[in-house]
Amino acid sequence: MTRLSQYLLPTEKQPPADAEAISHKLMVRAGLIRQLGAGMWTWLPAGWRVHQRVVQIIREEMDAIGAQEMLMPVLQPADPWRKTGRLKIEELFKLTDRKGSELVLAMTHEEAVTTHIAQVVRSYRDLPLIVYHFQVKERDEPRPRAGVLRTREFIMKDAYSFDRDQAGMDESYQLHVGAYDRMMERTGLRYYRVEGDVGMMGGTGAHEYMAPCTAGEDLVVLTATGYAANAEVVRAKLGTDELSGEELLDGQPIQLEKAIEIANIFKLGTRYSEPLGARFLDESGTEHAIWMACYGIGPARIVAAAVEQFADEHGISWPRALAPFQVHLVSLGKAGTPERDAADGLYATLLELGVEVIYDERDAGTGEKFADAELLGCPLRLTVGKRSLESGEIEAQRRRGREQCPALALGAEAAELARALDALLAELP
């Protein structure tokens, strides 16, 4: 049921007092998220719809490269983390159960997946293999901030490839580069794929996907030749602690841009397979360590980045691929009036056509309804009021740019309405 009078969409006129990032302000004001504690956020129905839009795009592109979806637990024994040397990471939540057994709350799942692969992979015939899951991650983030951008709990899609050798790992890595590029293109975000730092993951190489915006905590370094890297990588190359934008890199002046890191991919090599015993026998019966790579992406960060990049002074303006609903239908008539009856009929027709629509039939003022529609940011707003009955037309407005679209015929046959609406939606970003 998507009648706004019955839908849990608690909009607010004012942002949270501590909010600085645009996405933090607008996602709370639009009724998409609510805070439970420091770095702990609840996704309300409309916000969760956006989150799951991102999840579905990711899932489709992962499945297209032959990856297999699974699910691993968040609560894990500490021993594998001790074997890999990552138990000492400060951000890792550590606890004990009633029997005194040491446990951790996973911040990533390299230890878990490698343990399983060590148990089931025996031969070169079992490789290559790619698995992934969408799962909660827990991190003892010292300074949670900016709404869902920096949190202590979040959902991440993490994938893992397993190969016989470095050449196989490189091939799997390139498969994921293609898949991730397609994911980014489908979300509608502006992004850079940049050379990244391996950090606490270890391994032999990494790339990060960065969405440029002023709320970003990362710096991207760009040159006119198309080079792009995380500022940490460039600082290491130049041997400097700070970048001013006046430095030269390979003879080229650099440009600095703030960005949100929304995904990262790492070539791990045998960093995890060696300590956790993930090995296989080749054709001659010789044992080798499995070569691994891992691939993470944060749906919540993609959602926040979309808000940051496309919002205006009136509210959110979703890319069509991520919007909670494609159409925001507004009735300007009170219950029992001809205009309300016309809006109700249009709503029923849209549902029959399979259009994802949120219907504002609340007993509220026109200004409030329009303000909430612009705040929520669905790509297309349809309005039915007295003028619609007089003109025989449904007013249509695109959210991006607040531009009027060609009107739709009120009372048109369902097939005709579907064709006209599809044409309108196809033109939206």
The closest alpha carbon to 330, from 266, 291, 376, 290, belongs to: 376
Q: What was the pLDDT predicted at 299? A: 98
Element housing 136 (H / E) = strand 129-138
Please state whether the peptide bond connecting residue 77 to the residue before it is cis, i.e. omega within 30 degrees of 0.
no
Here the tokens at position 192 are 């850079």
The closest alpha carbon to 8, from 45, 43, 54, 41, belongs to: 45
Q: What pLDDT band is residue 38 in, cutting at 50, 70 and 90?
A: very high
Contact (Cβ atoms closer than 8 angstroms) between residue 265 and residue 177: yes
3-state class of 352 per DSSP? Answer: helix
Q: At residue 372, what are phi and psi to the nearest 5 degrees?
A: -65, -35
Q: At residue 360, what are phi and psi to the nearest 5 degrees?
A: -95, 95
Class assignment of domain 22-310?
alpha beta
What is the DSSP secondary-structure string of 187-241? HT---EEEE---GGG-SSEEEEEEEE-TT-SEEEEE-TTS-EEEHHHHHHHHT-S
Phi-psi region of 49 (alpha: psi -120 to 50; beta: other; left: phi over 0): alpha
Q: What was the pLDDT predicted at 79? A: 98
Q: What was the pLDDT predicted at 250? A: 86
- Poorest-confidence range of 162-171, 221-230, 316-325, 336-345? 221-230
Contact (Cβ atoms closer than 8 angstroms) between residue 194 and residue 228: yes
Q: What are the residue ranges spanned by the domains of the chain?
A: 22-310, 327-426
Average pLDDT score over the chain: 95
Cα–Cα distance between 3 and 9 in angstroms, integer?
A: 11
Here the tokens at position 389 are 């009955």
Vertex 265, ends 144 and 319: CA angle to 5°? 70
Q: What pairs with residue 130 in β-bridges? A: 161
Cα–Cα distance between 33 and 137 in angstroms, integer?
A: 18
Q: What was the pLDDT predicted at 98? A: 97
Contact (Cβ atoms closer than 8 angstroms) between residue 217 and residue 211: no
Q: What was the pLDDT predicted at 217? A: 86
Here the tokens at position 415 are 């097939």
pLDDT in tens, 79-97: 999 999 999 999 999 999 9
Contact (Cβ atoms closer than 8 angstroms) between residue 327 and residue 382: yes
3-state class of 328 per DSSP? Answer: strand
pLDDT in tens, 110-131: 999 999 999 999 999 999 999 9
Instruction: Say which CATH topology domain 327-426 has.
Output: Rossmann fold (3.40.50)
Cα–Cα distance between 236 and 226 in angstroms, integer?
A: 19
Contact (Cβ atoms closer than 8 angstroms) between residue 142 and residue 92: no
pTM: 0.95
